[in-house]
Amino acid sequence: MRVIFVIAKNTFREAVRDKILYAIVGFAVLFILSSLFIAQLARGDIVPVKSFGLAGIYIFGLIAAIFLGSSIIYKEIERRTLYFILSKPVSRSQIIIGKFFGLLAAVALITITMTIVYECVVFYQSGSFDYVSIIAMIFQIMEEAIFIALLIFLSSIVAPLISTTCAIVIFFVGHITTSALAEAELVGGISYKFIAFVYYVFPNLDKFDLRSFAVHNIPVPRSLGIIAFGYALLYSCALLYCAHLLFKRREL
């Protein structure tokens, strides 16, 4: 446990020291602040301010996860720092888990920072905080956990560019499958079976999208929290376990 904590701490430190991260956060803050300009255009309507702000947090959170996660294992192999770590009493699974938590902490920190800026913008515009968006951000962090686990999984088998491309494709698939399944249901046959397979096997990310709830100030059903948490936990574990198996077979 202590080993995992040390690896996580070092991964977190390395991530927050990355200069590209500051550029991403800087752009994100600028994007969220630009909602103030949107507010002028929308003539007092808070819906566009919230929707653009939350979209910014989501997009930049994902960009940060991709930049930090796509080469996380591959980089260690390329730099040969992994050999040094493995010469210590550290198992490969501890490396995977430690990397996951360290990266998740860094991405969660970015998400929280952006949420604070967003809340300030909403408060400045409407005179009250957007509490539902805090729940939406917790869900976003759960989604980011799956995404980071996916990036670690991909990073342990392929080069960063391929890993980034695959992650982006899987991310889109994760958002399309619900509507694709509904359409395929009308067609039926083999197409439906294929889409149903993709729907259940690939990460289904729709359940983490609480931005519409936050924008329109709708209470979030409690059961959704439990289901989403369970799904994120199981999916992340499955991906990390697969990453561990592949990583274990790899000759270093």
Q: Which residues bind another protein (CB under 8 A)?
A: 38, 41-42, 45, 47-48, 50-52, 54-55, 58-59, 171-172, 175-176, 178-180, 205-206, 208-209, 211-212, 215-218
Task: Identify which of residues 14 and 209 has a Cβ nearer to another protein in the complex.
Answer: 209
One DSSP character per residue, the chain reads: -HHHHHHHHHHHHHHHH-HHHHHHHHHHHHHHHTHHHHHHHTTT-HHHHHHHHHHHHHHHHHHHHHHHHTTHHHHHHHTTHHHHHHTSS--HHHHHHHHHHHHHHHHHHHHHHHHHHHHHHHHHHHSS--HHHHHHHHHHHHHHHHHHHHHHHHHTTS-HHHHHHHHHHHHHHHHHHHHHHHHHHHH-HHHHHHHHHHHHHS---GGG--HHHHHTTPPPPHHHHHHHHHHHHHHHHHHHHHHHHHHHHS--
Instruction: Please identify, using beta-carbon distances, which residue of 91 and 217 lies nearer to another protein.
Output: 217
Task: Give whichever of 96 and 121 is closer to another protein, judged by the CB atom.
Answer: 121
Tell me the closest approach of the beta carbon of residue 64 to another protein, in angstroms. 16
Name which of 54 and 65 has its Cβ closer to another protein. Answer: 54
- Smallest CA-to-CA distance from 32 within 61, 2, 69 is with 61
Q: What are the residues whose beta carbons fall under 8 Å from the beta carbon of 53, sequence distance 6 or more? A: 32, 35, 118, 121, 122
For residue 179, the minimal CB distance to another protein (Å) is 4
Q: Which is nearer to another protein, 53 or 102 (CB)?
A: 53
Our CB check for another protein shows the closer of 76 and 119 to be 119
